[in-house]
Chains A and B, each alone.
Chain A
Amino acid sequence: MEGKLNVPTMAEFFAAGKQPEVLFWVGCAGSFDDRAKKITKAFVKILNKANVSFAVLGTEESCSGDPAKRAGNEFLFQMQAVTNIEVMNAYEIKKVVTACPHCFNTLKNEYPGLGGDYEVVHHTQFLKQLLNEGRISMEGGQFKGRRITFHDPCYLGRANGVYEAPRELIQKLDAELVEMKNCKQKGLCCGAGGAQMFKEPEKGDKDVNIERTEQALDVQPEIIAAACPFCNTMMTDGVKNKEQENSVAVMDIAEMIATAADL
């Protein structure tokens, strides 16, 4: 089942004088982090299966600048943004999909002011579109009836009001969706946002990801569904800390869909 992935680049499309339907913005985590790369590949498998005409920037992609901006380095952020915008505008990009809510937020909200106007969607929104248009079909498979809780990424949920697309996808898998004490607008952060991913936390009683993992484990899920590579890392670490990694899995929604379809 492990066929070769078909991952065309924008450069290849450009050389052939063609435009893909959508640019898949992979992001740094999706490109380099071993756990997040699995999400990237799962998403590409779905795109391949659905025959979606997409491309990646590959080596022409660079950090969106989100962690720099949230850390206070506006200068570095804008340097990154302007560089990326130059590349994307040269390719006349119209639509962008990404599996990282941080890239999603930055490209969608903060690039337009610097000359980068694109229709930016999160991969859960994109998958929902594909489903609505009948380009993919979803069956529960091994997720049928499984107890799944969804952790809202701050930069997808509160920051951009996307709460339903990921939930609808989980429900399409015939899974039993259970909500945590804090969900949707009141969702609790995993602890990675605002550049916290890249530093040690400040002194306190406990780490944020432990608090959030406890909330998730309280509803006794078999799977904690994530939609952000950083949340995924934080929740995975939390589950390990609670020594529950053998009974509770942390999975991205794209991975669940790809697994259900046996891709």
Chain B
Amino acid sequence: MEYLPNVLFAIVLCAGIGFFAKNISRLRRNILLGKDVDVSDNTSQRWRNMAKIALGQTKMVVRPIAGLLHIIVYVGFIIINIEVVEIIIDGLLGTHRIFAALGVVYDVLIATFEILAGLVIVAVVVFWIRRNIIRIQRFVKPEMKGWPKADGNLILYIELVLMTLFLTMNGADYHLQQVGADHYVQAGSFPISQYIAPLFDGVSTATVIAIERTAWWLHIVGILFFLNYLYYSKHLHILLAFPNTYYGKLTALGQFKNLEAVTKEVKLMMDPSADPFAAPPEGEDDTPEKFGTSDVVDLSWVQLLNAYTCTECGRCTSECPANQTGKKLSPRKIMMDTRDRLEEVGKNIEKNKGAFVDDGKQLLGDYISHEELWACTSCNACVQACPVSIDPLSIIMDMRQYLVMEQSAAPSDLNNMMGNIENNGAPWPFNQMDRLNWAEEH
């Protein structure tokens, strides 16, 4: 019986981490449904980008208020997690504050955790006010109704509860240290929870111990719950921001990739010695490649990683000229739709024992409308705005390619423009031979 808490703790911990591992493998499987893309180049530049953008939060602070608050929560969460190491060791070994042996260092550590926890609470409250009271525009767009809104708030509540539990645990501990309860070593410095400790004056030691233990357990169980909530929420960015910024676009933002399959065909057409009726060499696949994207599996795995990384902050949408002028396009919605469809495809695969069974749906049309795609000015404002290097524009362009090259479904004005280019080398119906007339005009 003596070891019951230790055993219980080990079981909870294994279950929490095991379930998380299962979700990570699901995540990995879904992302790898995307097409392969070579991102093995420029490793040093990629590491630098990750260090600057994800670790250094350089793009978050473009908006100073949200940026500063986010840094508080981010730093708070990373640093306070050092405490989790102690909690896990204590939980498994049945010790109490095993790092107390660090002496002054321990005091400084605990004091830092406490101040950060206090600041995180302040930041989380401000975040909640921005979402629910001030109702900042980007948080109340149409795509944020229902689950995305609840999800955003739920995350804030969880963070608030975790920090409160942490401070309650410390406050009770500090009280127990003062009354000299068994097992509660004199350790730590409690700049914030020292104000909670007096609340326990006059309460029986046994009750305070119960409160301390409850807060301790709920805190660690809460952390494990949050870890497993990530996969079902928009909050995966706390992990995926790192790989996503690593694999982010390195070329000039204006450079769109040239489709290799098209290059092959164009080269063949331009080659006067090519035999158009020649059979493909033995072993080579002669089915023509599909141009562009109609569903998530046509996207690259980096684009799918983008979708899971998106935390729906809406900076992209608030900078989008189409969205600002009331068009249906929202770059954030493009990312949310991609993720939702990818989840649907993933579940389909699970249900059908590892193979996707056509469900008559696709990303294009069922999730993202033609109207949204054609409203884009390709201005790159969304790409520039994203604090974690997501590229919604690439998905929009890939889907336009499908509409035009596979379905000939461009707006008629654009068909006229393309017809002109084809016939006379300019988007307007002017004669190629008149190209230099301007030089003679006054």
Q: Which residues of A contact B (CB under 8 A)?
A: 2, 5, 7, 9, 26, 28, 30-33, 37, 40-41, 44, 56, 58-59, 61-63, 65, 67-76, 78-80, 82-83, 86, 105, 108-110, 113-114, 154-155, 158-161, 185-189, 191-208, 210-212
Q: What A residues does B400 contact at CB under 8 A?
A: 70-72
Closest to A185 in B: B384
- Give a binary string over B396-418; 1 marks a CB under 8 Å from any A CB, 0 the rest: 01011111110000110110111
Does B81 have its Cβ within 8 Å of any Cβ on chain A?
A: no
Instruction: Give chain A nearest CB distance to B175 CB in angstroms.
Output: 52
B436 touches A59 (CB 8 A): yes
Nearest B residue to A202, CB-CB:
B375
Check B380 against A154 for contact (C-beta < 8 Å): yes
What are 26 A-B interface contacts by the 8 Å CB criterion? Answer: A28-B427, A44-B439, A56-B436, A62-B425, A63-B426, A65-B421, A70-B256, A71-B410, A72-B402, A72-B404, A72-B410, A73-B401, A74-B401, A75-B262, A76-B421, A78-B259, A82-B266, A154-B377, A158-B381, A188-B321, A200-B411, A202-B371, A205-B325, A208-B377, A211-B321, A211-B324
User: Within the assembled complex, what's the spacing in Å between the Cα atoms of A197 and B421?
Assistant: 14
Interface residues of B in 140-198 (CB under 8 A from A): none
Chain B residue nearest in CB terms to A71: B414
- What 1/0 mask marks residues of chain B from 211 to 222 whose CB sits below 8 Å from any chain A CB? 000000000000
Kindly list chain A residues whose C-beta atoms are within 8 Å of the C-beta of B436. Answer: 7, 9, 31, 56, 58-59
Contacts of A69 in B (CB 8 A): 256
CB distance from A132 to the nearest CB of B (A): 23
Say yes or no: B426 contacts A28, CB within 8 Å.
Answer: yes
Count residues on chain B whose CB falls below 8 Å from chain A CBs.
68
Pair A72/B380 contact, Cβ less than 8 Å: no
Q: Check A58 against B414 for contact (C-beta < 8 Å).
A: no
Residues of B within 8 A of A108 (CB): 252
Q: Which B residues touch A5, using CB under 8 A?
A: 439
Interface membership of B276, Cβ < 8 A: no
| A192 nearest CB neighbor, chain B only | B377
Please give me the residue from chain B that is nearest to A9 by CB atom: B436
Of A9, A82, A86, A206, which is within 8 A of B325 by CB?
A206
Q: Given the known A-B contacts A31-B435, A73-B405, A76-B418, are A110 and B263 also in contact in the complex, defined by CB atoms under 8 Å?
A: no
Please tell me which stretch of B231-239, B301-309, B326-334, B339-347 contacts chain A, meaning at least 4 of its Cβ atoms lie within 8 angstroms of it: B326-334
CA distance A79 to B267 in the complex (A): 9
Say which residue of B258, B267, B379, B421 sits within 8 Å of A67 (CB atoms): B421
State in angstroms the CA–CA spacing of A46 and B348 once bound together. 64
CB distance from A41 to the nearest CB of B (A): 7
The reply to whether B401 and A189 contact each other, CB–CB distance below 8 Å, is no
Contact across chains for B405 and A205 when beta carbons are under 8 A apart: no
Contacts known (A110-B255, A199-B414); A75 close to B322, Cβ less than 8 A: no
| Residues of B close to A154: CB separation below 8 A | 254, 377-381
Quick check: is B113 within 8 A (CB to CB) of the other chain?
Answer: no
Residues in B whose Cβ lies below 8 Å from that of A212: 321
Contact between B378 and A193, CB atoms less than 8 A apart: yes
**CB neighbours of B253 from chain A (8 A):** 158-160
Most buried by A among B265, B329, B416, B421: B421
Bound CA–CA A185/B62 (angstroms): 11
- Complex Cα distance, B253 from A154, in Å, reads 10
One digit per residue, 1 when the CB lies within 8 angstroms of any chain A CB and 0 when it does not, for chain B 251-283 equals 111111011001101110110000000000000
Q: How far is the CA of A174 from the CA of B427 in the complex (A)?
A: 38
Q: Taking the complex as formed, is B2 at the interface, i.e. its CB lies under 8 A from any CB of chain A?
A: no
Known: A31-B430, A194-B377, A202-B327; 7 extra A-B contacts, CB below 8 A, are: A63-B426, A63-B427, A76-B418, A78-B262, A189-B321, A196-B377, A198-B414
B19: interface (CB < 8 Å): no
Chain A residue numbers with a CB within 8 Å of B262 are 74-75, 78
Residues of A within 8 A of B322 (CB): 202, 204, 208
Min distance, Cβ B165 to any Cβ of chain A, angstroms: 40
B397 touches A32 (CB 8 A): no
| Closest partner residue, chain A, to B374 (CB atom) | A202
B358 — which chain A residues lie within 8 A by C-beta? none
From residue A55, how far is it (CB to closest CB) to chain B in Å?
11
**B286 at interface (Cβ–Cβ under 8 A)?**
no
**Would you give the shortest CB distance from B331 to chain A, in whole angstroms?**
13
**A253 → chain B, closest Cβ, in Å?**
19
A61 proximity list for chain B (CB < 8 A): 425, 435
- The yes or no answer to B291 lying at the interface (CB within 8 A) is yes
- Least Cβ distance of B262 to chain A in Å? 5
Nearest B residue to A102, CB-CB: B254
B319 at the interface (CB under 8 A from A): yes
Bound form: Cα–Cα A93–B131 in Å: 56
Cβ of B397: which chain A residues have Cβ within 8 Å of it? 70, 72
Q: Are B421 and A63 in contact (CB under 8 A)?
A: yes
B266 contacts A40, CB within 8 Å? no
Contact B254 A72 (CB under 8 A): no
Does B37 reach chain A (CB closer than 8 Å)? no
Say yes or no: is B359 at the interface (Cβ < 8 Å to chain A). Answer: no
Q: Within the complex, which residue of B259, B266, B379, B439 is in contact with A193, where a contact is CB–CB below 8 Å?
A: B379
**Distance between Cα atoms of A177 and B247 in the complex (Å):** 38
Taking A105-B255, A109-B255, A155-B254 as contacts, is the C-beta distance between A205 and B326 under 8 angstroms?
Answer: yes
Contact B442 A2, beta carbon cutoff 8 Å: yes
Closest residue of chain A to B432, judged by CB? A59
B269 cross-chain contacts in A, Cβ below 8 A: 79
Q: For B442, list chain A residues within 8 Å (CB).
A: 2
Question: Is B433 interfacial (CB-CB < 8 Å)?
Answer: yes
B-side contacts of A160, CB under 8 Å = 252-254
Rounded to whole Å, the gap between the CB of B195 and the closest CB of chain A is: 43
In the complex, which residue of chain B has the Cβ closest to the Cβ of A33? B428
Contact status B376-A194, CB under 8 Å: yes
Bound Cα distance A44, B325 (Å): 37
**Is B36 engaged at the interface, CB distance under 8 Å to the other chain?**
no
A73 to nearest B CB, angstroms? 5
Instruction: Say yes or no: A199-B374 contact (C-beta < 8 A), given A65-B421, A110-B258.
Output: yes
For B254, list chain A residues within 8 Å (CB). Answer: 105, 109, 154-155, 158-160
Q: Are B413 and A199 in contact (CB under 8 A)?
A: yes
Which residues of chain B are near A74, meaning CB under 8 Å? 258-259, 262, 291-292, 401, 405
